[in-house]
Structure 1
Amino acid sequence: MRYIIIGAGAIGGTVGGRLAQAGHEVVLVARGAHRAALTEGGLRLRVPQGESTHRLPVVDGPDALGPLRTDDVLFLAVKTQDTEAALRVWGPAPVEGGGTAAERLPVVCAQNGVESPRLALRRFRHVYGVCVWLPATHVEPGVVSAAGTPLSGILHLGRYPHGTDDTARGVAADLEKAHFEAPVVADVSRWQYAKLLSNLGNALEAVSGPVGDPEAEALYASVRAEGEAVLRAAGIAWVSAEEQQALRGDKVTLVPLDGVPRAGGSSWQSLRRGAGTIEADHLNGEIVLLGRLHGVPTPLNELLQGLANQFARERRAPGSLPLPELTRLADQRSAGAVAFVQES
């Protein structure tokens, strides 16, 4: 199979680089300064085993490839807010022998949140979801890093909305030869919703810094409790922390990498790069949406969604809102929500 990595940033670049290391054919899709650096100097991948450079084909869209091959796998790794634009471009791409990518090729959604597979299923017949457990950093244009060892990450994979098939098993086998564990599961959404709950802290980290001290941990616990209440109200199952830990164990242990400063999660990195957008609408915003649909108040997730979007629009530095100020705003929102419920 040839892997077309649509969005060769932290996640896509790491997966693409690791697959290339394992001898698989890889095409990178990127734009702007990152695309220029990849074209000129190759993909530089920094991992605990050392740094490697991979000279891979780099394109900005399907036209540069001509008709796609029947053995192509579209590996979607853009941020969720960019999913629709990517699907719109790649779905109509012609495939050798007739038909389009949307009709004939698998699209593997390796992204945070739960929205991208739903969007993909509107256009593509063969959609696969991935629960991404892969600590990675877009260091600078042309350079990505993944500090996990002995594995770079764990990528639960399954057909969306449910089930497994030979394509899922084939992709998983390739990933497992490339420093990943890739369990094939029939209930990939259950893993994605568990990851969604953990990602509710991304916006907190992005606006006020790492979740580590007791005050931040307490705020995140309240944010997550809202998320769990919403999922229960919606009748949505998720994998327990105990089940996740039993599978992960110490398979992905982070180690310091030379030349790679400490970086935050994906939302923190979006603010650091001044991307102008952030994925909060599809993380905290997913909880807000479900809360409104099922009558569950979600004031803290709504607060973080709004703050993260404001930071992205204004290109504010990550972590620049003091945690005591965020806590004060959260207390105000929570008190307002309680008063509204009592009045209702």
Structure 2
Amino acid sequence: MVYGAGAVGGVIGARLFQQGHDVTLIARGAQYEAVRDRGLRLDTPEESVTLPVPVVDRPSKVTFQPDDVVLLAMKTQDTLPALAELAAVAPPYIVVACAQNGVENERLALRRFARVYGICVLLPSAFSEPGVVEAYLAPQTGSLDVGRYPAGTDGPAESLAAAFAGATFASKARPDIMRYKYGKLVSNLNNAVEVVIGPGEQGADIERLAREEGEACLRAAGIDAAAGVAIVSRIRPIRGRERGGGSSYQSLRRGTGSIETDYLNGEIVLLGREHGVPTPVNDLLRRLANRMAHEGLQPGLMTPEEFLAALDGPAPG
């Protein structure tokens, strides 16, 4: 089961389905209706294919089996209600694997399920319209390293890694998967920069400052973060169209009303407050991105100069 069939979940589900795996998507609203009625279309730099992937609109529509795996692929702010729905109908021994950014989802899942796995996701993708997902890396679709939470590898981790590796992803079973997820967390601090400043090089200085704060907080907390993994792929256009911004940028563009910033930049703010490390850049990015999502604003609220000036005073209203 792939619970959350947006950009990341839709692409992972589509690739696994292409390789003959027994995949069911759990989707909502227009995405559920489109996939139910027309199938899931996967667009990549190398192909466009519509796949008849089974889809349901809630976990209670699934008949669970002992060896089932549930991949969580929703944004972190949606994980708690999703887990509550899942735990109400799924046996507690199923495998739950978090194909999500940030480092909070695994802790949330472990409260309800005993077998929890982290997946470090490197998958530039997009959810452009209902029923359509896009994957911009080729020839490998992305990287999905996996490990048991909080640490270790075992049969399910090895099996998941093998399934991903056979479905055009780079994937290894790693006993220290959270090191890689903390490393990915630091790179994801730029998501809010794309929202507040806009995508591209214009926000490079703000991104650098956010990363420096993040790295300082991890050091103070004694958290070892691994560098990103290398894959044999590059981002390529799809039918002449370049990928826009990352997942937070896409959330704002779609007007979802919520954003993941509290669990990315907000994770750094939390660590900073716990360990006495100032995090003004990440806190301002967090506050501004949340306000923009709440008010339905589009990316590019201010220039880098305006952002730096706001660090010395209240955020613009």
The TM-score bracket by the shorter chain reads over 0.9
Does the 8 Å contact 1:74/1:106 carry over to 2? yes
Task: Tell me the alpha carbon deviations over residues 45-69 of structure 1, each in whole angstroms, 9 at most, x when there is no partner.
Answer: 001221011112111112212x311
- The residue aligned with 2:150 is 161
- The residue aligned with 1:220 is 207
1:203 equivalent to 2:192? Answer: yes
Whole-Å separation in 1 of the counterparts to 2:29 and 2:217: 39
The residue correspondences of 1:248-327 to structure 2 (distance < 5 A) are 248-249=230-231, 251-258=232-239, 260=241, 262-327=243-308
1:121 equivalent to 2:110? Answer: yes
Q: What amino acid is aligned across from residue 54 of structure 2 in structure 1?
A: P
Q: What amino acid is aligned across from residue 21 of structure 1 in structure 2?
A: Q
| Pairing partner for 1:187 from 146, 170, 176 | 176
Q: CA deviation at 1:286?
A: 0.3
Task: Tell me the alpha carbon deviations over residues 79-129 of structure 1, each in whole angstroms, 9 at most, x when there is no partner.
Answer: 0000111110111314xxxxx2xx210001010100000111111100000
**Secondary structure at the counterpart of residue 24 of structure 2:** strand
| Pairing partner for 2:122 from 107, 127, 133 | 133
Does the 8 Å contact 1:145/1:260 carry over to 2? no
Provide closer, same or farther for how the CA distance between residues 90 and 37 of structure 1 changes in structure 2, counting only shifts above 3 A.
same
Whole-Å separation in 1 of the counterparts to 2:95 and 2:88: 13
Does the 8 Å contact 1:131/1:156 carry over to 2? yes
| Pairing partner for 1:80 from 46, 55, 76 | 76
1:70 equivalent to 2:66? Answer: yes
**Secondary structure at the counterpart of residue 311 of structure 2:** helix
TM-score (norm 2): 0.96
Task: Tell me the alpha carbon deviations over residues 115-173 of structure 1, each in whole angstroms, 9 at most, x when there is no partner.
Answer: 00011111110000011011000011110000101101011100000000000111111
- 5+ residue gaps in structure 1? 95-99, 334-344
Q: CA deviation at 1:324?
A: 2.7
Q: What amino acid is aligned across from residue 268 of structure 1 in structure 2?
A: Y
Identity percentage of aligned residues: 49
**Secondary structure at the counterpart of residue 318 of structure 1:** coil
Question: Which of these two proteins has the greater Rg computed from alpha carbons?
Answer: 1
Greater percentage in helix: 1
- The residue aligned with 1:175 is 164
**Secondary structure at the counterpart of residue 89 of structure 2:** coil
Q: CA deviation at 1:40?
A: 1.1
Whole-Å separation in 2 of the counterparts to 1:146 and 1:262: 9
The residue correspondences of 1:4-15 to structure 2 (distance < 5 A) are 4-15=1-12
Whole-Å separation in 2 of the counterparts to 1:11 and 1:260: 19
Does the 8 Å contact 2:148/2:157 carry over to 1? yes
**Secondary structure at the counterpart of residue 291 of structure 2:** helix
- 5+ residue gaps in structure 2? none
Does the 8 Å contact 1:20/1:26 carry over to 2? yes
Deviating beyond 6 angstroms after TM superposition, the runs of 4 or more aligned structure 1 residues are: none
Does the 8 Å contact 2:13/2:23 carry over to 1? yes
